[in-house]
């Protein structure tokens, strides 16, 4: 093949038909010589084919090469994944509490309870465990840090709780050993989230240190460790208001008025309804006996999310010029987490003196992460360090102006005039609580503050009336029976 290319380049001054004829004649002569040599001498054919490679053979060689490389790559990856260092101690866990959900806002929430079991799986007959500790850390990662390529500016870790599961070294036999744990997360902590600006995660990490047997008879035991990390998803749910929120918008210089009714607290995984009513869509022209109509052509709703945070600086990159500069740099981003365009679905009425349009639509979060089934959103939140997430519902209504004769509004004509009506509504996006209940509502009642007997009332010495004396029932009946006789005897004596 290379000699054909070189021949083509050398003979580029010749015509194309001449080059094709020369190439065809060379291929014919080569195939004839190969067949003749193969019939006469098999050894001679091997020497001739040594300098000429057929295209099918070259393709087959390339195919085999790719097969071999892919086969070797898979085998190497299998060996790499299967090569796991042996450890006589393995840590595992199981969570017994319901999903971690903060009920209420940061000021009123009592927190959430996380309880479960940590396991030490001992693989050998006897292992001396020196220590076993666990900790829950709040990790904040800034994706636009104060200084690029600085791990301290990018990640800040705060220890929420530290657990010492073993008070002293203990020899443990083969099998699974349980260590219960319970952590109360305060309600003012933020919920977990992952945004293009900042991410917040709760990581439960555990470490067990143990002694390993010496490799040589005269050697000494060494201390090894087994580590464990898991992410705990923490959510926050806010109660829904009792009544929907009502809002009215006016769009001058027209007479169009929009009245919206919706629930201000919405859930990302559910459908949330909004009722919209437009009036003032018809204007009467008494002089020419016509009416101007505003007709709704399209409605688009967008659920926008605004993320604001402050990227702090570490001690090494702290400029120290001013107090505001030491806090960090503000970062913000606005993205659309839900969007839909409606071209129909409303009712119009232009028969009266004022045009009316009524409609009801649903809005929700419909944006997914690429290559993932997780929803791409973050719930509303506000932290003391400057991180804030807010949401708003944006409506865009396209109306077109038409005219018609009075009494014949069903037959209208275009005027070429249109308007875009925009409205913003503040909404609060929060997770759905589901079956989770606040931990303080699950606790049984406590009777330690109740006294053992009813309270005593002290006798008032200054009271002018004597205390009431109570008699036996029998004495009271006997007194009532003798009362008339005594009265009759006194009358006789008088």
Residues 217 and 336 in one domain: no
Helices and strands, number each (H, E), in the chain: 8, 21
Q: For position 385, what pLDDT does the model report?
A: 86
Residues 314 and 290 in one domain: yes
For residues 235 and 431, the answer to whether their CB atoms sit within 8 Å is yes
The CATH number of the domain where 200 resides is what? 2.60.40.640
Domain boundary among 205, 237, 269: 237
Per DSSP, the three-state class of 6 is: helix
Residue at 454 is within a domain: no
Residue at 467 is within a domain: no
Q: For position 251, what pLDDT does the model report?
A: 92
Residues 424 and 292 in one domain: yes
Residues 256 and 211 in one domain: no
For residues 151 and 316, the answer to whether their CB atoms sit within 8 Å is no
Residue at 348 is within a domain: yes
- State the DSSP H helix or E strand holding residue 56, giving kind and residue range, or none if neither: helix 55-82
What is the distance between the alpha carbons of residues 300 and 361, in angstroms, rounded to a whole number?
Answer: 11
Q: For position 462, what pLDDT does the model report?
A: 55
Domain boundary among 429, 455, 478: 429
Residues 45 and 159 in one domain: no
Residues 265 and 201 in one domain: no
Domain of 75 in residue numbering reads as 2-82
Residues 270 and 414 in one domain: yes
pTM of the full predicted structure? 0.68
What is the DSSP code (8-state) at residue 379?
Answer: -
Residue at 98 is within a domain: yes
Q: Which residues pair with 113 in a beta bridge?
A: 184
Number of domain units in the chain = 3
The CATH number of the domain where 258 resides is what? 2.60.40
Phi, psi of 15 (to 5 degrees): -80, 160
HSE, side-chain direction, 13 A CA sphere, residue 352 = 9
Residues 333 and 351 in one domain: yes
Residues 162 and 277 in one domain: no
Q: For position 414, what pLDDT does the model report?
A: 87
Domain boundary among 82, 104, 129: 82
* pLDDT tens for the 494 residues of the chain, in order: 445 444 544 544 455 555 556 556 655 555 555 544 444 444 444 444 444 444 445 455 444 444 444 444 444 444 444 556 788 999 999 998 888 999 988 888 888 989 999 999 999 999 999 999 999 999 999 999 988 888 888 999 999 999 999 989 999 999 999 999 999 999 999 999 999 999 999 999 999 999 887 665 666 678 889 999 999 999 999 988 889 999 999 998 888 999 999 999 999 888 889 999 999 998 888 888 888 999 999 999 999 999 999 998 888 877 554 444 447 889 999 999 999 999 999 999 888 778 899 999 999 888 655 555 545 789 999 998 889 999 999 999 999 999 888 888 888 888 889 999 999 999 999 988 776 666 666 656 566 656 666 666 665 555 555 555 555 666 667 777 776 555 444 444 44
Residues 93 and 78 in one domain: no
Closest CA to 308 of 419, 227, 387, 396: 387
Residue at 453 is within a domain: no
Residue at 307 is within a domain: yes
Per DSSP, the three-state class of 41 is: coil
Residue at 95 is within a domain: yes
Residues 69 and 128 in one domain: no
Residue at 141 is within a domain: yes
Closest CA to 155 of 147, 167, 164, 163: 147
Q: Which residues pair with 258 in a beta bridge?
A: 249, 278
- State the DSSP H helix or E strand holding residue 494, giving kind and residue range, or none if neither: none
Q: Which residue has the tokens 């008699």?
A: 471
- State the DSSP H helix or E strand holding residue 55, giving kind and residue range, or none if neither: helix 55-82
What is the distance between the alpha carbons of residues 266 and 31, in angstroms, rounded to a whole number?
Answer: 79
What is the distance between the alpha carbons of residues 228 and 205, in angstroms, rounded to a whole number?
Answer: 5
Tokens of 191: 């919920």
Residues 65 and 133 in one domain: no
What is the distance between the alpha carbons of residues 229 and 210, in angstroms, rounded to a whole number?
Answer: 18
For residues 189 and 372, the answer to whether their CB atoms sit within 8 Å is no
């Amino acid at each position: 093949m290379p000699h054909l290319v070189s021949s083509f380049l050398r003979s580029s001054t010749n015509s194309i038909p001449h080059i094709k004829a020369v190439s065809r004649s060379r291929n014919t002569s080569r195939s004839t010589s190969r067949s003749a040599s193969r019939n006469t001498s098999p050894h001679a054919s091997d020497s001739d084919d040594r300098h000429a490679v057929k295209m099918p053979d070259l393709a087959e060689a390339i195919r085999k090469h790719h097969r071999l490389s892919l086969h070797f790559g898979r085998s190497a990856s299998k060996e790499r994944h299967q090569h796991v260092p042996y450890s006589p101690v393995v840590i595992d866990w199981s969570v017994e509490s319901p999903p971690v959900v903060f009920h209420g806002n940061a000021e009123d929430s009592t927190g959430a309870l996380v309880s479960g079991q940590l396991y030490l799986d001992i693989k050998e007959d006897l292992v001396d465990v020196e220590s076993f500790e666990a900790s829950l850390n709040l990790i904040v990662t800034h994706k636009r840090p104060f200084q690029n390529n600085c791990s301290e500016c990018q990640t800040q870790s705060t220890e929420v709780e530290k657990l010492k599961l073993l008070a002293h070294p203990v020899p443990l036999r083969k099998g699974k050993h349980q260590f219960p744990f319970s952590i109360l997360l305060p309600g003012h902590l933020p919920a977990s989230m992952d945004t293009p600006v900042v991410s917040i995660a709760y990581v439960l990490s555990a470490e067990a240190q143990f002694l390993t047997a010496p490799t040589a008879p005269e050697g000494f035991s060494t201390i090894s460790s087994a580590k464990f990390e898991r992410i705990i998803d923490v959510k926050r749910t806010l109660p829904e208001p009792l009544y929907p929120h009502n809002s009215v918008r006016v769009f001058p210089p027209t007479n169009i008025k929009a009245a919206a009714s919706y629930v201000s607290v919405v859930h990302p995984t559910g459908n949330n309804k909004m009722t919209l009513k437009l009036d003032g869509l018809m204007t009467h022209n008494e002089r020419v006996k016509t009416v101007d109509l505003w007709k709704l052509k399209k409605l688009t709703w967008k659920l926008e999310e605004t993320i604001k945070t402050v990227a702090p600086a570490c001690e090494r990159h702290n400029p120290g010029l001013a107090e505001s500069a030491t806090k960090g740099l503000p970062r913000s981003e606005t993205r659309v987490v839900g969007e839909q365009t409606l071209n129909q679905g409303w009712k119009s009425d232009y028969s009266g003196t004022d045009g009316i349009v009524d409609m009801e639509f649903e809005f929700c979060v419909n944006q997914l992460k690429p290559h993932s089934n997780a929803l791409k959103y973050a719930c509303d939140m506000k932290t003391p360090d400057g991180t804030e997430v807010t949401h708003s519902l944006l409506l865009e209504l396209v109306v077109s102006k038409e005219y018609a004769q009075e009494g014949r509004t069903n037959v209208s004509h275009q005027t070429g005039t249109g308007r875009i009506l925009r409205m913003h509504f503040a909404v609060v996006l929060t997770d759905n609580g589901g079956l989770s209940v606040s931990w303080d509502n699950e606790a049984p009642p406590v009777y330690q503050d109740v006294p053992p007997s009813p309270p005593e009332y002290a006798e008032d010495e200054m009271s002018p009336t004597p205390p009431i004396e109570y008699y036996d029932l029998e004495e009271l009946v006997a007194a009532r029976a003798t009362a008339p006789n005594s009265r009759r005897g006194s009358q006789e004596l008088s």
